[in-house]
Structure 1
Amino acid sequence: MNIDLSPEATDYGVAALRAFASAGGDRLVEEAERDPRGRSAVMEPVLAGLGAWDLGPRTDADELEAAAALCRAAGYWAVPYPVAERLSRPADLDVDGLVVVSAHDPAAAVADLDLRFATVSLDGRRSLASARPAERPPRRTGFVTGLALDALDDDGITDVALGLVLPIWSLLGMLDRAMELTRDHVLLREQFGRPLATLQGVQFQLTDAEVERAGVEVLAKYALWSIGTGRPEAIDDALSLRLAAIEAADTVMRIAHQLHGASGFCDETTLSWLSRHSLPLRRLPLGLSATGEALACRIGRHGLTGLFGGEAESATTRETEPVAP
């Protein structure tokens, strides 16, 4: 098992980071809040230049990895556009993207976009979606709006895992940036005549946050591998990833805000924009408790399998046990 992204996918992600930076970087989300309807015109040429819509994440494992790297780069810059949702689009429907929704009050961060979306619930029920008019400004909603659904079929079970996992790669990119911003902040700011980064309490907090972020990265790679290899447990792995990612995001963002102090909640600080626009990814389609409940209902008493299952753990134990003299 090799869960690391290929060098080609990694290089593609670096190219995407540079392309988003050249297109405006942090200004992208700021300008999108001022002009929500104009964000498609800004982002489409950038994504087309990267060949984003030529990727086939459903049919090719290498292109699946490239799609994940692109989502991570988009998250790093808090790109105000449904990149992961568009990359998840089903091949058998004439739509621009796919959104995983809850059974009650379906919603997604697709307000003010002239795009056609399909939705899928965790049990595989697909629908065509129409975005309702936004009732509040994007500063308060993160571009989230309710969806009106027109039921299609029950053939979407294979869509669920991909639709859950790619948005988490975007959230992972946001956690990457939050850690980077926080490290830079504590290295520059001083207290008692020395940088905050030299204080032991700050170092402990940064370590806790980085452990959470790194754990999500490993799980995200594993869930991607699970989809790419066609594991029947791919949805279980996707829900496990989502549960861990929400918990990690809560920890990373909390510590980042604590170490930034009051400035972390001001729009002059990039962390404020990043944190605010991470909320739709953390709350939709399911929040922490609902994701945990959905995972528990799926795995029942048999638990998780694969990398973190009991069989793999026993094999690892047998390999690492010392041999008696």
Structure 2
Amino acid sequence: MNIDLSREATEYGRQVLRALEAAGGDRLVQQAEEEPDRREKLVAPVLAELGAWELDVRGSADELEAAAAVCRAAGYRALAYPVAERLSRPADLDADGLLVVGDNAPAGAVADLDLRWVAVTLDGERSHALALPRSSPPRHSAFVADLDLTRIDGGGAADAVLGLVLPCWTLLGMLDRAIDLTRAHVVVRTQFGRPLSAFQAVQFQLTDAEVERGGVEMLAKYALWSLWDSPADALADALALRLAALEAAQTVFRVAHQLQGATGFCDEAFLSWLSRYSQPVRRLPLGLSATRDQLAGLVDRRGLTGLFNDADDPHGRPTW
């Protein structure tokens, strides 16, 4: 089993990052918030030029990996645009994107976009989704809008898995950036004549955050492999990834805000934007407790299969 992304997918992700930097970089999310009507024009043409919307994520493992790399790059820049949701659009319906929703109060970060959406629950129930007008400005809502659903069918089990996994790659990109920003901060800031990075307490906190981030990266790669090669376990692996990503986000952003102090909550610091626009990914379709309950109910007493097959255990028990 090789769960690492291909060199081509990794390089594609780098090219997406460079293109986003050239298009405005960190200013993209700020401009979207200042001018919501331009939200689509700021990002979609950049990714279209790189062929991102043409990726066949359901027909090719290589293109699925490339899509994951695009989502990670989008998260690194905290793009105020549903990149993962557009890349996971259903193959058999005429729609521009896919939203995984909870059973109650369906919502998505899709306000101010003239796009056609399909919503799917974890049980695979699909609906056409219409974004209702948002009730608060983007600064407070992060473009989250309630959805009006019209039931279609129940054939979306694979959609639900894909729609869970790709947004976790977006959140992984956000965790990458939060670590990078915090590391840069503690290197240049001094206390008692020494850089913050020289203090053991700071080193321990950063290490804890990086361990959490690294764990999410490993599980994200495994869930991507499971989605393609082991569909029977894919939903459990997708929920396990989401649970790990949400737990890691709590640790990483807590450490980042603690070490950057009050400046991390000011819009002059990009951590503030990153933290704010991570909220829709972390809260929708399910928060931490609800994700944990869903996973526990799904795997019950059999546990997760994980990276090692049952042949490694003479008793046939799951080895993860």
Task: Give the alignment's TM-score, normalised by structure 2.
Answer: 0.96
Q: What's the secondary structure of 2:307's corresponding residue?
A: helix
In the TM superposition, residue 312 of structure 1 has moved relative to its aligned partner by 6.6
Within 5 Å, which residues of 2 pair with 1:301-320?
301-307=301-307, 311=310, 314=313
In the TM superposition, residue 230 of structure 1 has moved relative to its aligned partner by 3.9
8 Å CA contact 2:128–2:149 kept in 1: the answer is yes
Cross-structure match for 2:211? 211
Runs of 4+ in 1 over 6 A off after TM superposition: none
Q: What's the secondary structure of 1:211's corresponding residue?
A: helix
Q: Deviations over 1:126-154 (max 9, x none)?
A: 00000000110111111101000000000
Cross-structure match for 1:323? none
* Counterpart Cα distance in 2 of 1:255 and 1:275: 12
8 Å CA contact 1:69–1:169 kept in 2: the answer is yes
Cross-structure match for 1:179? 179
Cross-structure match for 2:44? 44
In the TM superposition, residue 29 of structure 1 has moved relative to its aligned partner by 0.4
In the TM superposition, residue 297 of structure 1 has moved relative to its aligned partner by 1.1
% identical aligned pairs: 65
Cross-structure match for 2:318? none
CA RMSD of aligned residues (A): 1.1
* Counterpart Cα distance in 2 of 1:120 and 1:47: 25
Within 5 Å, which residues of 2 pair with 1:199-278?
199-278=199-278
8 Å CA contact 1:97–1:116 kept in 2: the answer is yes
The one-letter code matched in structure 2 to 1:306 is G
In the TM superposition, residue 42 of structure 1 has moved relative to its aligned partner by 1.6
Cross-structure match for 1:65? 65
Q: What's the secondary structure of 2:296's corresponding residue?
A: helix
Cross-structure match for 1:322? none
Deviates more, 1:179-188 or 1:225-234: 225-234
Cross-structure match for 1:118? 118
Q: Deviations over 1:36-87 (max 9, x none)?
A: 1211012121011110111001110000000000000000001111100000
Cross-structure match for 2:283? 283
In the TM superposition, residue 313 of structure 1 has moved relative to its aligned partner by 6.1
Deviates more, 1:294-303 or 1:13-22: 294-303
Tell me, which stretches of 5 or more residues in structure 2 are unaligned? Answer: 315-320
In the TM superposition, residue 231 of structure 1 has moved relative to its aligned partner by 2.7
Q: 1:313 to 1:26 in 2, by over 3 A?
A: farther
* Counterpart Cα distance in 1 of 2:102 and 2:239: 13
Cross-structure match for 2:317? none
Q: Deviations over 1:203-227 (max 9, x none)?
A: 0000000000000000000000001
Within 5 Å, which residues of 2 pair with 1:9-48?
9-48=9-48
In the TM superposition, residue 308 of structure 1 has moved relative to its aligned partner by 6.0
Q: What's the secondary structure of 1:306's corresponding residue?
A: coil
Q: 1:312 to 1:285 in 2, by over 3 A?
A: farther
8 Å CA contact 2:16–2:50 kept in 1: the answer is yes
* Counterpart Cα distance in 1 of 2:47 and 2:4: 24
The one-letter code matched in structure 1 to 2:117 is F
8 Å CA contact 2:216–2:244 kept in 1: the answer is yes
Cross-structure match for 1:193? 193
* Counterpart Cα distance in 2 of 1:71 and 1:82: 9
Cross-structure match for 2:83? 83
Q: Tell whether 2:315 aligns with 1:294.
A: no
8 Å CA contact 2:32–2:42 kept in 1: the answer is no
8 Å CA contact 1:306–1:312 kept in 2: the answer is no
* Counterpart Cα distance in 2 of 1:18 and 1:313: 43
In the TM superposition, residue 157 of structure 1 has moved relative to its aligned partner by 0.7
8 Å CA contact 2:266–2:272 kept in 1: the answer is yes
Q: What's the secondary structure of 1:232's corresponding residue?
A: helix
* Counterpart Cα distance in 2 of 1:312 and 1:42: 50
Q: What's the secondary structure of 1:59's corresponding residue?
A: coil
Q: Tell whether 2:128 aligns with 1:128.
A: yes
Q: 1:211 to 1:312 in 2, by over 3 A?
A: farther
* Counterpart Cα distance in 2 of 1:37 and 1:146: 18
The one-letter code matched in structure 2 to 1:45 is P
Q: Deviations over 1:5-57 (max 9, x none)?
A: 00000000000000111110100000101111211012121011110111001
The one-letter code matched in structure 2 to 1:232 is A
Cross-structure match for 2:138? 138
Task: Give the alignment's TM-score, normalised by structure 1.
Answer: 0.95
Q: What's the secondary structure of 2:135's corresponding residue?
A: coil
Deviates more, 1:230-239 or 1:195-204: 230-239
